[in-house]
Structure 1
Amino acid sequence: MSLGFSVDELLPRARGGGQLKMGLVKLGGSEWLQSDPDLAARAEGFAAFPEGIQVTPEGEAAGRELATGLDVSGGLAEAAHAHHEDMCLLTRRNGEEHYRLVGAAVAWPSDWTPADKMGLPLRALHAPIQGYEEQLASGVDRFMEKLRPGPIYGRANWFIAATPDMRWVAEPPARAFAHVTPENAGSTLFVRSERQTLRRLPRTGAILFTIGIYVSPFGRLAPANVQRLADAMRSLLDGEGERRGAGAYAHGLIGYADATQEESRP
């Protein structure tokens, strides 16, 4: 199974709670980036969030290499304007073991601001993720070290949001989800999935991290995915639920899923 380009296609590949893992799948060149980006939406996204473009001097050469490889004039910003995916660049300084964020062109971030993250190593970038240091950090570092030019790897994740906005700024969960009930969760909860890919640029050796954002109302998902998310809520509540704000919407999500499943029975 490869990665698709919609929430319904990505959810079966996305982690649903429990042990943190990279969950990578190898992608072919034609599977790397979405082939039909809405460039007007991309332009609007960057216009509304100009601070989403941040490039340090260390990232400029890699940005130019990326743009050239995508047949785009310019650098990182122009490459991201021309595609559906947000794009980030990571490099490793001489004498250092860890990769740092040196460039970001992000129109639709999931509750983060690139200026706050520039120059940080991977472990600091992921510090808010509960369990990352203990369960995943060493494995990610090894993968980055071994990644060679050519292969492309992808993974997916998901979040529950109270808005369909492509640029998501999370509110305190108790406020954001106060209106959600089992009866209306299908239209008031939104599933936000990130389709992430990793590859190494051949000339500069920088690692390119792309993030394709896809959003769907909970109630429009395939029935199997509605149940998949309901099942995931239980493990999230026992683990990283606090970070995700799951306690504020789990009752409504699970109640909606259970009612939907009951209605579908003959």
Structure 2
Amino acid sequence: MSLGFSVDELLPRARGGGQLKMGLVSLSEDEWLQRNPDLSARKAGFAAHPGGILLTREADAPGEELAQMLGLNGSLPEAAMAHHEDMCLLTRRADEDEYRLIGAAVAWPTDWHPKDKMGLPLSAMHAPIQGYAQQLASGVDHFMAKLKPGRIFGRCNWFITPTSDMRWIADSAPDVAFSHVTADNAGDTLFIRSERQTLRRLPETGAILFTIGVYVARLGSLMQSNVSILAAAMESLLQGEGDRRGAPHYAAALTGFAAQREGNAA
């Protein structure tokens, strides 16, 4: 089973709460990037937030290699502007074990700014994620070191947000952002944000390209099976990353909505 290009397709394979795991699947070249992207939306996203593009000198050669591989002139920014996916480049220095972020072209971030992550190793980049160092860091480092050119791997996750905006920066406290959400209106006021992430190594420079395709859907628009998945995940989310994700302020509304909809369908 491969990864799709919508929230409904991604949710059954996506991680959102519970034990941290990479959850990778192998992708073919045809399954790598979304076809027929909305390039006007991409251009507008980058124009509105130029700080989403940040490059170090280490990104010059890998960025040019990436652009050439995609049949483009330019570097990392041109590659990201020509596709639905945001794109990041990572390399490992000769005297280090971890990969570092060396370039980012991110129009639609999920609550992060490239300026805060640039140059950091993976462990520091993921420090806010509860359990990353204990449960996932060594596995990620091993995977990155062994990734061979030509192979493409993907994974996905999900978040609950109070907005349908493609760019999501949580600039309000969760108790404020979700204060309007109830079981009766959650179908219209809660949005599911799923990131379709892929990893592949560039053959010439050896840098790793990390792509992030963002998909957003209103909770009430999802298939019933996916609403049930989200409701079932609330308990484990509250016991793990709930505070970071704001779950205490929407979990009851989401599970209440799911129960109402299931009852109406019966």
Whether TM exceeds 0.5 here: the answer is yes
In structure 2, C-alpha distance between the alignment counterparts of 1:18 and 1:104, rounded to whole Å:
28
CA RMSD of aligned residues (A): 0.5
In structure 2, C-alpha distance between the alignment counterparts of 1:112 and 1:46, rounded to whole Å:
15
In structure 1, C-alpha distance between the alignment counterparts of 2:162 and 2:131, rounded to whole Å:
25
Equivalent residues of 2:16, 2:159 under 8 A apart: no
Equivalent residues of 2:187, 2:219 under 8 A apart: yes
Q: Which residue of 1 aligns with 2:186?
A: 185
Amino acid at match of 1:232: A
Q: Which moves more between the two structures, 133-142 or 91-100?
A: 91-100
CA offset at residue 31 of structure 1? 0.3
Q: Which residue of 2 aligns with 1:68?
A: 68
In structure 2, C-alpha distance between the alignment counterparts of 1:243 and 1:189, rounded to whole Å:
17
In structure 1, C-alpha distance between the alignment counterparts of 2:240 and 2:212, rounded to whole Å:
25
Amino acid at match of 1:3: L
CA deviation profile, 1:117-170 (whole Å, cap 9, x unmatched): 110000000000000000000000000000010000000000000000000011
In structure 2, C-alpha distance between the alignment counterparts of 1:133 and 1:94, rounded to whole Å:
22
| Unaligned runs of at least 5 residues, structure 2 | none
Amino acid at match of 1:81: M
In structure 2, C-alpha distance between the alignment counterparts of 1:222 and 1:69, rounded to whole Å:
37
Q: Which residue of 2 aligns with 1:25?
A: 25
1:14-93 alignment to 2 at 5 Å? 14-93=14-93
Question: SS in structure 1 opposite 2:144?
Answer: helix
CA deviation profile, 1:189-234 (whole Å, cap 9, x unmatched): 0000000000000000000000000000000000000000000001
Q: Which residue of 2 aligns with 1:112?
A: 112
CA offset at residue 95 of structure 1? 1.1
Q: How many residues align?
A: 265
In structure 2, C-alpha distance between the alignment counterparts of 1:74 and 1:239, rounded to whole Å:
42
Question: SS in structure 1 opposite 2:51?
Answer: helix
In structure 1, C-alpha distance between the alignment counterparts of 2:158 and 2:18, rounded to whole Å:
14
Equivalent residues of 2:162, 2:178 under 8 A apart: yes
Q: Which residue of 2 aligns with 1:10?
A: 10
Q: Which residue of 1 aligns with 2:135?
A: 135
In structure 2, C-alpha distance between the alignment counterparts of 1:114 and 1:238, rounded to whole Å:
29
In structure 2, C-alpha distance between the alignment counterparts of 1:129 and 1:174, rounded to whole Å:
20
In structure 2, C-alpha distance between the alignment counterparts of 1:238 and 1:124, rounded to whole Å:
23
Q: Which moves more between the two structures, 136-145 or 13-22?
A: 13-22
Q: Which residue of 2 aligns with 1:227?
A: 228
What percentage of aligned pairs have identical amino acids? 68
CA deviation profile, 1:79-108 (whole Å, cap 9, x unmatched): 000000000000011111110000000000
Q: Which residue of 2 aligns with 1:153?
A: 153
In structure 2, C-alpha distance between the alignment counterparts of 1:17 and 1:103, rounded to whole Å:
28
The yes-or-no answer on 1:194 pairing with 2:205 is: no
Amino acid at match of 2:188: S
Q: Which residue of 1 aligns with 2:249?
A: 248
In structure 1, C-alpha distance between the alignment counterparts of 2:119 and 2:239, rounded to whole Å:
33
Amino acid at match of 2:10: L
Question: SS in structure 2 opposite 1:107?
Answer: coil
CA offset at residue 21 of structure 1? 0.2
In structure 2, C-alpha distance between the alignment counterparts of 1:115 and 1:226, rounded to whole Å:
35
After superposing on structure 2, the runs of 4+ consecutive aligned residues of structure 1 that deviate more than 2 Å are none
Amino acid at match of 1:32: W
Equivalent residues of 2:67, 2:75 under 8 A apart: yes
In structure 2, C-alpha distance between the alignment counterparts of 1:59 and 1:121, rounded to whole Å:
15
In structure 2, C-alpha distance between the alignment counterparts of 1:185 and 1:258, rounded to whole Å:
12
